[in-house]
């Protein structure tokens, strides 16, 4: 009887271990992808990059450029009533709300020419660093699909 139980446990653990990556992959497949057909992309180091501001603003993010350290901060717009976006100007003027949003981890900060970036206070890595071309910041498509669309899904 003990031998049968050990085999059952071993088989169950093996099946669970094998099924876990499949579940993760299924979740990734269900993640929405951005339609890049309306934006001009570029290729750098074998990766496709897309214009950050245009896409981020279309997804409801506030985009702030910091010239001094060449960084870009993306803030999720707060939701009001039935999925109506809060007016961006009033959100920008309300420093208390912005500080609260940052404390909650609602900010994503990237730095031009750096592969590391912050999601809230957590450091993440990119395969290709963001770059500037013709006064526009470009980021890897994976950044948009993984982080911006994920944030949008969490907001709903």
What's the predicted TM-score (pTM) here?
Answer: 0.64
Do 6 and 78 share a domain, yes or no? no
> Do 26 and 63 have their domain in common?
no
Distance (Å, whole) CA 151 – CA 106:
9
Residues 10 and 44 reside in one and the same domain? no
In this structure, are 106 and 91 located in the same domain?
yes
pLDDT at 135: 93
42 and 3 in a common domain: no
The CATH code of the domain that includes 106 is 3.30.457.10
Split into its structural domains, the chain has a count of: 2
Backbone CA torsion sign across 17, 18, 24, 27: negative
Kindly state whether residues 141 and 66 are assigned to the same domain: yes
- For residues 110 and 144, membership in a common domain is answered with yes
Whether residues 150 and 77 share a domain: the answer is yes
For residues 34 and 149, is the Cβ–Cβ distance under 8 A? yes
Q: What angle do CA 51, 64, 105 make, to 5 degrees?
A: 100
Are 93 and 121 in a shared domain? yes
Render each residue's pLDDT in the chain as its tens digit; 156 residues.
566 666 666 666 665 665 555 555 555 555 567 788 889 999 988 999 999 999 999 999 999 999 999 999 999 865 433 344 444 444 444 444 444 444 445 799 999 999 999 998 999 999 999 999 999 999 999 999 988 887 665 555
75 and 44 in a common domain? yes
pLDDT for res 21: 56
Closest CA relative to residue 45, chosen from 102, 113, 110, 101: 113
Whole-number pLDDT of residue 106: 73
20 and 56 both lie in a single domain = no
The predicted pLDDT at position 70 comes to 96
- pLDDT attached to residue 30: 54
Torsion, CA 143, CA 144, CA 145, CA 149, rounded to 10: 130
Domain shared by 13 and 64, yes or no: no
Distance CA 148, CA 153 (A): 9
Question: Could you tell me the residue range of the domain that residue 16 belongs to?
Answer: 1-30
According to DSSP, the residues that pair with 50 across neighbouring strands are 139
């Amino acid at each position: 009887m003990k031998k049968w139980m050990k085999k059952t446990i071993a088989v169950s653990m093996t099946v669970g271990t094998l099924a876990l990556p499949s579940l993760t992959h299924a979740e990734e497949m269900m993640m929405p992808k951005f339609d890049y057909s309306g934006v001009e992309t570029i290729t750098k180091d074998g990766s496709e990059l897309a214009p950050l501001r245009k896409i981020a603003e279309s997804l409801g993010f506030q985009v702030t450029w910091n010239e001094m350290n060449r960084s870009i901060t993306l803030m999720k717009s707060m939701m009001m009533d039935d999925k109506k976006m809060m007016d961006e100007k009033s959100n920008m003027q309300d420093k208390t709300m912005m500080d609260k949003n940052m404390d909650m981890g609602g900010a994503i900060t990237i730095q031009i020419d750096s592969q590391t970036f912050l999601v809230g206070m957590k450091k993440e890595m990119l395969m290709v660093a963001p770059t500037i071309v013709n006064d526009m910041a470009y980021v890897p498509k994976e950044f948009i699909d993984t982080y911006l669309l994920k944030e949008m899904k969490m907001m709903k």
